[in-house]
């Protein structure tokens, strides 16, 4: 299949929307990561997304909409708590799990569950695309399943060239990690995946919120992406490095026979005289910039045949650091650097 690169001009978006109407798959930008879009109401189109990603069939998909009216096509009513969240965080990087009308969506979208995850992205290009297609689209990350998520159109091209009909190039994403997922069908609203919208921000609007970042069992269907299968992982081992361990980690890296990729903050890089070195990837100044740069760095080293290990900065488990550490923890399988390893 030929994969076409689209710009963000209205004529390009209209052409991409026509392909979605015809049941094709188009990669689209959001403020978080790039997604794979297909008509959420056409089972044959959604199956193409699973095939392109090589995604397990019991992993539910997020339904991405252009406006709240699209959500109303699938639910009897929008609960009051959802209305508060929508008023405060949409458009934006918050995904809301609600109950939907039975039969309104294919079971392959919902994983056979009575709930579905809805998201209204901040990115105007994608909202315009969905409006032109006049249908909500599924929106998993536009990468091969299990690999680091794409934050540029070039990342998508690397994974999806020849597998999908088109890619809309809107430059690098701003947030860099996937949306926060909150389940409002539980007794207490529960965060199933942390993101840029923090627990503190949610609680300021709706009161008490639980946080559940567990990995579901082999026979259990996850309510949200990222709860069951391996995610974000390069082919080589990744180790998390706490700030106090960097001096020892850098000495260890320099002693290895094969190059070691180092992903650290500018402060760590400058303090250890690593600026400009070939095997160093800057995560910027703080956890916010690190979120935006994490996946790109993992992809950079994953595509290099000479790098055998990647060391990545670990931040405090607070605020948006929870989202960063969640993705890094999955990429590293929970492994921390140890000087004796």
Residue 220 resides in a domain: no
Residue 341 resides in a domain: no
Same domain, 50 and 186: yes
Same domain, 157 and 305: no
Same domain, 172 and 33: yes
Same domain, 112 and 247: no
Three-state DSSP class for residue 79: coil
Q: What is the mean pLDDT of each run of 10 residues along the chain (341 residues)?
A: 96 98 98 98 96 83 97 96 98 97 92 94 98 97 93 97 98 97 96 96 98 62 60 90 97 94 98 92 98 98 95 97 96 92 72
* Cβ-based neighbours of 97, under 8 Å, separated by 6 or more: 115, 116, 117, 118, 181, 182, 183, 184, 185, 192, 223, 224
Same domain, 304 and 192: no
Residue 217 resides in a domain: no
Range of the domain at 12: 4-211
Locate the DSSP E strands across the chain: 4-6, 26-28, 35-39, 62-64, 94-99, 115-119, 137-138, 166-168, 180-183, 190-193, 210-211, 238-241, 260-264, 280-282, 309-313
Q: What is the Cα–Cα distance from 105 to 103, expressed in whole angstroms?
A: 5
Same domain, 128 and 177: yes
| Predicted confidence (pLDDT) per residue in 121-178, tens digit | 999 999 999 999 999 999 999 999 889 999 999 999 999 999 999 999 999 999 999 9
- Domain's final residue, options 211, 230, 265: 211
What is residue 232's predicted lDDT score, i.e. its pLDDT? 80
Q: What is the Cα–Cα distance from 240 to 310, expressed in whole angstroms?
A: 9
Residue 161 Cα distances to 13, 23, 49, 275, 305, angstroms: 19, 18, 13, 34, 21
- Domain's final residue, options 211, 226, 253: 211
Same domain, 242 and 207: no
Residue 226 resides in a domain: no
Same domain, 204 and 246: no
Residue 219 resides in a domain: no
Q: Answer for the pair 186, 210: CB distance below 8 angstroms, yes or no.
A: yes
Residue 93 resides in a domain: yes
Residue 42 resides in a domain: yes
What is residue 212's predicted lDDT score, i.e. its pLDDT? 78
Choose among 3, 319, 339, 28: nearest CA to 171: 28
Omega before 91 within 30 of 0, i.e. cis: yes
Same domain, 153 and 245: no
Same domain, 207 and 242: no
* 220 CB-contact burial (10 Å; exposed 0-12 / middle 13-18 / buried 19+): exposed
What is residue 56's predicted lDDT score, i.e. its pLDDT? 73
| Pairing mode of beta strands 4-6, 94-99 | unpaired
Q: Give me the CATH number covering residue 274.
A: 3.40.50.11030
**pTM of the predicted structure, to 2 decimals:** 0.93
Q: Which two tokens stand for residue 101?
A: 């009308």
Q: Answer for the pair 290, 144: CB distance below 8 angstroms, yes or no.
A: no
Residue 339 resides in a domain: no
Three-state DSSP class for residue 156: helix
Same domain, 36 and 180: yes
Q: What is the Cα–Cα distance from 114 to 102, expressed in whole angstroms?
A: 7
Same domain, 100 and 43: yes
Q: Give me the CATH number covering residue 132.
A: 3.90.870.10
Number of structural domains, the chain? 2
Q: Which two tokens stand for residue 145?
A: 């399943």
Torsions phi, psi of 202, nearest 5?
-65, -45
Q: What is the Cα–Cα distance from 223 to 232, expressed in whole angstroms?
A: 19
């Amino acid at each position: 299949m030929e994969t076409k690169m689209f710009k963000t001009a209205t004529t390009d978006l209209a052409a991409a929307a026509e392909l979605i109407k015809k049941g094709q798959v188009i990669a689209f930008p959001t403020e978080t990561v790039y997604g794979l879009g297909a008509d959420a109401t056409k089972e044959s189109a959604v199956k193409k997304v699973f095939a392109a990603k090589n995604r397990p069939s019991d992993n539910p998909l997020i339904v991405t909409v252009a406006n709240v009216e699209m959500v109303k096509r699938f639910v009897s009513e929008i609960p009051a708590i959802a209305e508060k969240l929508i008023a405060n965080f949409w458009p934006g990087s918050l995904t809301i799990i609600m109950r939907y009308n039975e039969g309104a969506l294919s079971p392959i979208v919902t994983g056979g569950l009575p709930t579905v995850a809805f998201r209204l992205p901040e990115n105007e290009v994608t909202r315009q695309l969905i409006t032109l297609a006049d249908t909500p689209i599924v929106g998993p990350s536009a990468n091969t399943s299990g690999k680091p998520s794409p934050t540029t159109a070039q990342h998508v091209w690397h994974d999806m060239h020849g597998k999908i009909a088109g890619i809309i190039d809107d430059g690098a994403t701003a947030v860099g990690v996937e949306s926060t997922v909150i389940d409002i069908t539980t007794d207490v609203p529960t965060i199933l995946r942390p993101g840029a919208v923090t627990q503190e921000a949610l609680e300021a609007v709706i009161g008490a919120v639980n946080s559940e970042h567990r990995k579901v069992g082999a026979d259990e269907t996850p309510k949200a992406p990222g709860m069951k299968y391996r995610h974000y992982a390069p082919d080589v081992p990744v180790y998390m490095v706490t700030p106090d361990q960097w001096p020892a980690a850098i000495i260890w890296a320099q002693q290895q026979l094969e190059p070691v990729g180092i992903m650290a903050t500018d402060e760590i890089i400058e303090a250890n005289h690593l600026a400009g070195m070939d095997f160093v990837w800057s995560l910027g100044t703080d956890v916010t910039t690190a979120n935006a740069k994490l996946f790109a760095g993992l992809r950079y080293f994953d595509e290099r045949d000479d790098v055998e290990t990647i060391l990545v900065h670990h931040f405090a488990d607070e605020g948006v650091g929870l989202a960063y550490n969640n993705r890094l923890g999955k990429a590293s399988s929970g492994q921390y650097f140890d000087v004796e390893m």
